[in-house]
Amino acid sequence: MTRKRLLQENLTSYAFLTPWLIGFFALTLYPMFYSLYLSFTQFNIRQPPQWVGLRNYIVMFTGSEQFPRDERFFNSLLVTFKFVFTSVPLKLLFALAVAMLMNKKLKLIGMYRALYYIPTLLGGSVAIAVLWRRIFAGDGLLNLILERLFHLTDLPAWISNPKYSLSTLILLAVWQFGSPMIIFLAGLQQIPKEYYEASSVDGAGKVRQFIWITLPSLSPIIFFNLVMQMISAFQSFTQAFIVSNGSGGPLDSTMFYSLYLYIKGFGFSEMGYAAAMAWVLLIIIAAITAIFFKSSGSLISYGSGE
Amino acid sequence: MKRILLTMAILMVTVTMVFAAGVPETQKSAAGPTVIRWAYWGSGERVTISQQAIDLYQSRNPGVVINPEVSGGAGDHFVKVDTQLAGGNGPDIIQMGGNIYDYAKVLLPLDAYAGSELNTAVIDPSAIASGTIEGKLLGVSTGVTMPALVFNKSLIERSGAPQPKLSMTYAEFRDYLVLLKSKLPKGVYPMQDIGVMSTNSTPFGYWARFNGTPLYTAATASTGVSAEAAQKYLELFQDYRANGLIPPAEIASGFAESNADSSALIAGKAAIAFLYTNQLGGYQAATTDELRLMEFPGAAATKALWQAPSQFYTVNKDSKNAKETIKFINFLVNDPDAAKILGSNRGASASSSARASGASSPADQRVLDYMQVAGPHSSLETDHVPNDTEFNSTLFLIYQRVAFGQVTPVQGGKQINELLLRMIAK
Amino acid sequence: MQKKAKDRIYSVGINLFIIALGLGMLYPILWLVAASFKQSNTIFSDPGLFPKAFTLENYHKGWAGIGIVGFGTFFRNSFTICLLSAAANAMFCSLTAYAFARLKFIGKRVWFALMMVTLMLPTHVTTIPRYIIFRSFGWVNTFLPIIVPKFFATDAFFIFLLVQFIRGLPKDIDDSALIDGCGRFGIYAKIIMPLTLPAIITTVLFTFLWTWDDFFNQLLYLTSPNNYTVPMGLRLFLDSSGMSSWGPMFAMSVVSLIPAFVLFFSLQKYFVRGIATTGIKG
């Protein structure tokens, strides 16, 4: 490549990138730096921020004489980790399974797809919270079914019992698998029919086709869904907020990290601490994502291109 | 290269078009009438009646335009207001609740306007006092509310138990709960667990006053509640719980008790619950059963109840139209026509000129009846514990730990006392 | 003969299974629709699926909104915001994704990493500084703070999505087009875009839905009731300190699901398989 070509390549590329660059510098970078600055301050929103150095971080991790450690912080981290590592794999499993079911030219397939997308459509509406409580309350639908059909007794009140409340939220997240499902569907659509036809001729059964054609072709999409679902699960807020009525559930059992951040920032008016929490989360997510990217190299096939 | 330039050109044009597309409404009225921004929380009925009040005022005062900025709940309202204040763009009138103390530094003192734009002479002195912080009048009370116990008259009738007396002692109260328990069907409890609720620890505050040891005294920056005292409170409710007078922790925590939608009473699970009198209207509208009010036990003897300002109208320190804003507030609070429209939606009016217009609904009437009885059993409100959102949230956590059996009342009492000291020291 | 029978049983079985599982998904919607036909003060005391006292009043009351402004206005506002956002995202996220996926340039890895990082910071802490920025532009009480960021590809989610899809396409297509004299932009517009249509449609659908539900930003920036959107209208039925109009709220929630359905269905036909193959042969 000549120098002139190289320059032109770069210019072209940056021309494509211009909108994103403008957005990044004007709308994203400043807020990020501002929040980093806030993390070293005490800011109750109604008065200017006051610099306190590392205090917020100390309170989160070790505590000191004057400022005892915040035990609710570690609890929220634990709750969130449990949530992420249980709900994400389950959600993706369902999403892929159902996407494969939906990848057909059946007559009413559009309607079926819509059906499975409904839970996601209801999203974080208050209606969902009401519904979930109806189903998982001590005298809710689930217990009704368990008692009548299976004659079980002494059933817990799932949604208001600290041992089980998190599970109801995990279930809610998995039930709303619509988004990754649609993305898997889009990915499945892009796999050329010829691959399947050719392998059928060669005598390959459905399972072999799945392992040797579907999975590899879908791998960039699986990677995408894995990373994105993980990132968004760590930041999960709305469902925990509405189901627990903003409290973090019985005994902080549904106190997701983002919920605690919100309560600290806007509820207790400790915006500086909330900013510190935000940056800690960013570092955790970035580290895990980096590990994913690094280890994905050998597993993902990007077609005949790269 | 040409293609790239073409793209950029399209980009520029699109962006310019978008800019042109959204002309902010506020800019249009730049040189025209005075615009006042009124931020409040509420829904449905409150929005309708507030708009009626606005229309009435605007018809009497051409040249003034009032823009309501409504948020569904108090939570949303404060997050929005906080963000706007931080961005230097706060509204003129900010609705406040008990957290007016936290906002003291950003509110305009109204003393200079008392007597002229704001007629303070017709407002109850206690209401004025509640809005006065560190000697400055920062908020005008929208009305008065009182803590009360609410009971489901219809449910109790159906169970065959007698109706409760309006005023009882703690001993009588416990006996009544036991009686109720024997008559109520399985799964329905005499009273909801109101010891501490997710957003509200008023019963705890009441009990502290009942014992003569207030939660917090601003003058000495101290608390009258010791670890032993807190322990006794936890034991009181543990006794109720052990005897089935209140639901077990698992069931109680399914109800946040912040409003009718999260109320065990409305769900038919409890016969007695806690609320503030200005919530009665909302609760009654959520059920076909008849709801009535009764006092906290022991109020008659100790005068431990109190009248709290339901909400406040406050003015943003940086408001550009302070005078006009205060005139409008005066209208909302003192004008009899406005009072007829607004009713006791934001509290039973504390202004004698407004009260002249009478009660506007049966629920309102019940509130007024209750206040007739409970009013004389009240004394001055206790100072609010500093950092009270955090106090409530952590107190609730400690209370639940005891309720679920993770921690004993002895430990719980200690933790509560430590919490109080920590919140005061912050 | 035997194979045909087996196939039929198989496909009937699949159909039944899909329907059964789907009905499980349906229960909440059925409950919601049923609740919208019940009277407000019986919604919680009458938990069954069939209203004992059927009423249409929730829809009447609900549509009227908050008196001063009705749901007609709320829907109009929501549509405007969501359609513009969806179009902008489709256009500008794909432009950016193409650069990251196909072009070579200095700093590419760094920019990509930074783009990913923008996804990882919880949004609550950037609320205040963003408000300060938009206020300084004078955009408060307009739709601009919600729409304009989409024109600058700030939704890294879709950039990453499109990158993954584009990377799945064979590079020979690009090369043969280049040889044919097509410029980079031409490749982007004529070849890559059509081939990643399912992903672009996904972007449009998701942007629309997520912008529709983005309650908090709408609450923050749209201060006059005339600019309010559907989620804001729905929240206004619930009052944390008293009266809640559950009936009208459920009714309007049901109505607000309709545009999402319509969009979903009309975009279905773009989820068509086989587009990828035509590219290579041509």
Question: Looking at the predicted structure, is the pLDDT value of residue B17 above 80?
Answer: no
Smallest CA–CA distance, residue A215 to chain C, in Å, is 13
C121 contacts in A (CB within 8 Å)? Answer: 32, 35, 278-279, 281-282
pLDDT band with cut points at 50, 70 and 90 for residue C282: very low
Res B281: pLDDT: 81
Can you tell me the distance from the alpha carbon of C228 to that of B81, in angstroms, rounded to the nearest whole number? Answer: 17
> Which chain A residues contact residue B103 at CB under 8 A?
46
List chain B residues with CB under 8 Å of A266: 78-79, 82
Q: Please, which pLDDT band fits residue B1 given cuts at 50, 70 and 90? A: very low
B313 vs B44, more confident = B313
B363 or B227, greater pLDDT: B227
CB within 8 Å: B389 and A251: no
Q: Which two tokens stand for residue B164?
A: 């409760």
Query: What's the pLDDT tens digit per position in B252-279?
Result: 998 988 877 788 998 899 999 999 998 8
pLDDT over 90 (residue B2): no
Residues 338-367 on B with a CB inside 8 Å of C are 345
Q: How does residue B326 score in pLDDT terms, banded at 50, 70 and 90?
A: very high
Position B195 confidence tier, pLDDT thresholds 50, 70, 90: very high
Interface test with C, best of B47, B79, B274 (most C CBs within 10 A): B47
- DSSP 3-state of B67: strand
User: What is the arithmetic mean of pLDDT over B95-99?
Assistant: 87
pLDDT of B21 over the 80 cut: no
- What chain A residue is nearest to C274 in terms of C-alpha separation? A192
Mean pLDDT (whole number) for C116-126: 88
- Could A46 and B82 be called an inter-chain contact, meaning their C-beta atoms sit closer than 8 Å? yes
How far apart CA C7 and CA B411 sit, in angstroms, is 68
Residue A131 tokens read as 């519904």
Q: Which of B53, B46, B9 is nearest to B345 (CA)?
A: B46
CATH class of A70-295: mainly alpha
The percentage of chain C sitting over the pLDDT mark of 90, rounded to a whole number, equals 28
CB contact A145 to C (< 8 Å)? no
State percent of chain C over pLDDT 70.
90
Query: Which of B2, B7, B52, B70 to mutate to probe the C interface, most C CBs <10 Å?
Result: B70
By CA distance, what is A217's nearest residue in C? C168
Lowest mean pLDDT among A198-207, B151-160, C11-20, C30-39: C11-20
Q: Return the exposure string of B301-330: e unless at least 16 CB atoms fall within 10 Å of the residue's CB, then b.
A: eebbbbbbbbbbbbbbeebebbebbbbbbb
3-state secondary structure of B191: strand
Instruction: Give the mean model confidence (pLDDT) for residues B119-123.
Output: 86
pLDDT for residue A54 is more than 90:
yes
The neighbours of chain C, by the rule of 3 or more Cβ pairs under 8 Å, are A, B
Look at residue B292 and give its three-state secondary structure: strand
Residue B73 to residue C184, Cβ atoms within 8 A: no
Longest dimension (CA), chain B: 90
Q: How confident is the model at residue A50 (pLDDT cuts 50, 70, 90)?
A: very high
Nearest CA in chain C to B289: C41
Asked if C219 reaches chain B (Cβ–Cβ under 8 Å), the answer is yes
Closest residue in A to B78 (Cα–Cα): A266
The domain locations on chain C are: 2-56, 60-277
Tokens of A64: 């000191």
Q: How far apart are CA B391 and CA B419, in angstroms?
A: 7
**Confidence at residue B26, expressed as pLDDT on a 0 to 100 scale:** 41
Q: Got the DSSP string for chain A?
A: --HHHHHHHHHHHHHHHHHHHHHIIIIIIHHHHHHHHHTTEE--SSS--EE-TTHHHHHHHT--SSS---HHHHHHHHHHHHHHHHHHHHHHHHHHHHHHHH-S--TTHHHHHHHHHHHHHHTT-HHHHHHHHHHHSTTSHHHHHHHHHH---S---GGGSTTTHHHHHHHHHHHT-HHHHHHHHHHHHTS-HHHHHHHHHTT--HHHHIIIIIHHHHHHHHHHHHHHHHHHHHT--HHHHHHTTTS-SGGGTT--HHHHHHIIIIIS--HHHHHHHHHHHHHHHHHHHHHHHHHHTTT---TTT-
CA distances from A274 to A131, A263, B78, C24, C127 (A): 31, 8, 17, 39, 12
Using an 8 Å Cβ cutoff, are A164 and A158 in contact? yes
What does the pLDDT average to over B50-57?
Answer: 92
Which chain B residues touch C141 with a CB distance below 8 Å?
A: 24-26
| pLDDT of C279 over the 70 cut | no
Question: Minimum mean pLDDT among A67-71, A180-184, B4-8, B340-344: which range?
Answer: B4-8
In this predicted structure, what is the pLDDT of residue C272? 54
Is the CB of B2 less than 8 angstroms away from the CB of C183? yes
pLDDT of residue B100: 87
pLDDT above 60: residue B285: yes
pLDDT computed for residue B30 by the predictor: 45
Is the CB of A7 inside 8 Å of chain B's CB atoms?
Answer: no
| ipTM > 0.90 for the complex | no
Nearest to C239 among B44, B69, B89 (CB): B44
According to the model, what pLDDT value does residue B24 have? 41
CA B389 to chain A, closest CA, distance in angstroms equals 6
Instruction: Tell which A residues from 38 to 97 touch B, by Cβ distance under 8 Å.
Output: 44-47, 72
A251 to B79: CB separation less than 8 angstroms, yes or no: no
Q: Which of A130-144, B114-128, C69-83 has the highest mean pLDDT?
A: C69-83
Residue C195 has pLDDT above 60, yes or no: yes
Residue B200 in this model has a pLDDT that exceeds 50:
yes
C128–B87 C-beta distance less than 8 A = yes
pLDDT of res. B23 = 39
Residues composing chain A: 306
Q: Which residues, including other chains, have CB under 8 Å from residue B231's CB and lie 6 or more apart?
A: B409, B410, B412, B413, B414
Q: Which residue has the tokens 């279930």?
A: A171
Residue B206 pLDDT > 90:
yes
Q: Which of B37, B70, B259 sits opposite C241 (nearest CB)?
A: B259
Residues belonging to chain C:
282
Reported confidence tier of residue B12, pLDDT bands at 50, 70, 90: low
pLDDT, averaged across chain C: 83
B257 contacts chain C (CB < 8 A):
no
* pLDDT single digits (tens) B346-364: 887 878 777 777 666 788 8
User: Is the Cβ of B319 closer than 8 Å to some Cβ of chain C?
Assistant: no
Percent above pLDDT 70 for chain B: 92
Selection from A261, A259, A283 nearest residue A274 by Cα:
A261
Q: Cβ–Cβ of B404/A159 closer than 8 Å?
A: no
Q: Is A14 on the interface with C (CB under 8 A)?
A: yes
Give the residue with greater pLDDT, B181 vs C182. Answer: B181
pLDDT at B97: 86
Is 3.40.50.410 the CATH classification of the domain at C60-277? Answer: no
Packed helices C71-102 and A3-23: angle between N→C axes, nearest 10 degrees = 160
Query: Distance from B77 to chain C by nearest Cα, in Å?
Result: 9
Question: What is the edge-to-edge ordering of all strands in the sheet holding B270-276?
Answer: B189-191, B270-276, B147-152, B291-294
Q: What is the mean pLDDT of chain B?
A: 86
- For residue C106, pLDDT beyond 80: yes
Is the CB of C167 less than 8 angstroms away from the CB of A228? Answer: no
The pLDDT value given to residue A301: 57
Distances (CA, A) of B357 to A99, A165, B150, B308: 64, 49, 26, 22
The mean pLDDT of C225-239, rounded to a whole number, is 83
> What does the H/E/C string look like for chain C?
CHHHHHHHHHHHHHHHHHHHHHHHHHHHHHHHHHHHCCCHHHCCCCCCCCCCCCCCHHHHHHHHCCCCCCHHHHHHHHHHHHHHHHHHHHHHHHHHHHHHHHCCCCCHHHHHHHHHHHCCCCHHHHHHHHHHHHHHHCCCCCCHHHHHHHHCCCCHHHHHHHHHHHHCCCCHHHHHHHHCCCCHHHHHHHHHHHHCHHHHHHHHHHHHHHHHHCHHHHHHHCCCHHHCCHHHHHHCCECCCCCECHHHHHHHHHHHHHHHHHHHHHHHCCCCCCHHHHHHHC
Cβ-defined contact of C167 to A305 (cutoff 8 Å): yes
Q: Give C-chain residues touching B37 at CB under 8 angstroms.
A: 223
CA B388 to chain A, closest CA, distance in angstroms equals: 8
Beta bridge partners of B200: B197
Residues of chain A contacting C126 with CB distance shorter than 8 Å: 28, 31-32, 34-35
Work out the pLDDT band at C243, boundaries 50, 70, 90.
low
In sequence order, which residues have a C-beta less than 8 Å from that of residue A25 and are 6 or more positions away?
none
Please tell me the distance in Å from C277's CA to the nearest CA on chain A: 6
Average pLDDT, chain A: 88
User: Contact C153/A19, CB-based, under 8 Å?
Assistant: yes
